[in-house]
């Protein structure tokens, strides 16, 4: 028994004749009659009394009507659910991102996407470590991943986003002239606040100041990323943060300064080679259209 057989059965029961039902369904009457006979054969009973110009349900046919209607409603509901997801009226998109990238640029990307597709729910995951971003995408735990170029992306597709500028964030009483750029070696010699070795924030700091030529002075080390700005505001040291986070710290009273030469982070969106969901494809297309740098790598390899 399949959906088409039940649809034809209900049409005949409703119209009272094979001719009228065939016309309403826009199918040939012989095809309709054959489908009903096949259904009756499968059920081992007669569903209609044939009365010359019309038909009447048998007791067995009357018993089938309610169940057939329920099945057709279930099919319609299932189709509607699938169409809502396909048309981006519903569904869910899972994205994994490094913590600092979840603040920027992911927050802005998700905001733009949700304004366009408010029916799609977004789940943002925080990886245990930087390399976990690619792995969570690779195994399908998340459909999309946002990471910097320190994360290997072998076997994944990627699109590069705009570079992210990093600024030095200093305590409120720091003596720095407005608009003055700090030399890289000057920043490296300051009392720095960062997270533990191996974390994405620590790796970002070390990579950004690698060209300073002097050992880094790690004054405060904490596993709590959210504590970095409060520590700076309390005068415990200096942090290196993406511009949006640095400017937010400045609104709270911190002093900020650019770094000379500029410290930047290259960011990319990752996904698997397999076809994306409708929501995933729409998100990638939005990023490529509005936020990407123009450098697209369809066969990403380890940088």
pLDDT, tens digit, for every residue of 173-187? 998 887 789 999 999
Cα–Cα distances in angstroms (integers) from residue 160 to residues 68, 113, 209, 265, 295, in the given order = 52, 18, 22, 11, 6
Q: Determine phi and psi for 97, rounding to 5 degrees.
A: -150, 145
Distance CA 173, CA 91 (A): 49
Structure-block tokens of residue 218: 């790690």
Match domain 92-162+266-297 to its CATH number in 3.40.190.10, 1.10.510.10, 3.40.1360.10, 2.40.37.10: 3.40.190.10
Is the per-residue pLDDT at 279 higher than 60? yes
Structure-block tokens of residue 288: 């490529």
Is the per-residue pLDDT at 191 higher than 80? yes
Domain ranges of the chain: 3-86, 92-162+266-297, 164-265
Is the per-residue pLDDT at 40 higher than 70? yes
- pLDDT the model gives residue 214: 85
Distance CA 279, CA 121 (A): 10
- pLDDT the model gives residue 1: 85
Q: What's the pTM value of the predicted model, to 2 decimals?
A: 0.70
- pLDDT the model gives residue 84: 82
Is the per-residue pLDDT at 261 higher than 70? yes
Of the listed ranges 39-48, 110-119, 289-298, the one predicted with least confidence = 289-298
- pLDDT the model gives residue 292: 65
- pLDDT the model gives residue 296: 52
Strands 255-257 and 239-242: unpaired
pLDDT tens digits, 46-82: 999 999 789 999 999 999 999 999 999 888 888 887 8
Structure-block tokens of residue 82: 């699938």
Average pLDDT over residues 140-165: 91
> Where does 118-192 have alpha helices with state H?
132-138, 184-188
Query: Can 92-162+266-297 and 164-265 be said to share one CATH topology?
Result: yes
Using DSSP's 3-state secondary structure scheme, residue 124 falls into strand
pLDDT higher for 79 or 251? 251
Average pLDDT over residues 238-260: 94
Rounded to the nearest integer, the mean pLDDT of the chain is: 90
Strands 157-161 and 267-271: antiparallel
Segment (H or E) for 8: helix 3-15
Of the listed ranges 6-10, 29-33, 69-73, the one predicted with least confidence = 69-73
pLDDT higher for 295 or 52? 52
pLDDT band at 295 (very low <50, low <70, confident <90, very high): low
- pLDDT the model gives residue 301: 38
Average pLDDT over residues 18-28: 94
Domain with residues 164-265, CATH architecture: 3-Layer(aba) Sandwich (3.40)
pLDDT higher for 143 or 303? 143
The correct answer on CATH 3.40.718.10 for the domain covering 3-86 is no
Q: Specify whether the CB–CB gap between 157 and 272 falls below 8 A.
A: yes
Segment (H or E) for 164: strand 164-170
Other CB atoms closer than 10 Å to residue 73's CB: what's the count? 10
- pLDDT the model gives residue 77: 82
Using DSSP's 3-state secondary structure scheme, residue 297 falls into strand
Place of tokens 């007791």: 59
Is the per-residue pLDDT at 95 higher than 60? yes
């Amino acid at each position: 028994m399949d959906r088409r057989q039940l649809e034809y059965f209900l049409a005949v029961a409703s119209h009272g004749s094979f001719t009228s039902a065939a016309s309403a369904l826009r199918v040939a009457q012989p095809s309709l009659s054959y489908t009903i006979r096949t259904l009756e054969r499968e059920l081992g009973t007669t569903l209609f009394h044939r009365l010359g110009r019309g038909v009447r349900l048998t007791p067995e046919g009357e018993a089938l009507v309610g169940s057939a209607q329920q099945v057709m409603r279930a099919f319609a509901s299932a189709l509607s659910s699938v169409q809502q997801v396909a048309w981006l009226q519903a569904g869910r998109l899972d994205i994994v991102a490094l913590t600092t990238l979840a603040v920027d640029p992911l927050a802005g990307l998700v905001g733009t996407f949700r304004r366009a597709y408010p029916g799609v729910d977004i789940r943002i995951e925080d990886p245990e470590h930087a390399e976990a971003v690619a792995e969570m995408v690779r195994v399908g735990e998340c459909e999309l991943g946002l990471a910097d170029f320190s994360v290997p992306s072998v076997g994944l597709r990627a699109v590069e986003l705009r570079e992210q500028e990093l600024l030095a964030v200093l305590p409120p009483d720091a003596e720095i002239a407005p608009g003055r750029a700090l030399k890289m070696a000057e920043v490296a010699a300051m009392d720095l606040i960062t997270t533990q070795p191996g974390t994405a924030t620590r790796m970002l700091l070390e990579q950004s100041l690698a060209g300073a030529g002097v050992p880094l002075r790690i004054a405060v080390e904490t596993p709590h990323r959210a504590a970095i700005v409060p520590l700076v505001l309390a005068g415990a040291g200096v942090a290196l943060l993406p511009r949006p986070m640095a400017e937010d710290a400045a609104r709270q009273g911190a002093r900020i300064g650019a770094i000379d030469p500029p410290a930047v982070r290259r960011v990319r969106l990752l996904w698997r080679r397999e076809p994306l969901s409708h929501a995933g494809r729409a998100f990638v297309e939005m990023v490529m259209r509005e936020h990407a740098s123009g450098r697209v790598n369809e066969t990403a390899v380890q940088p």
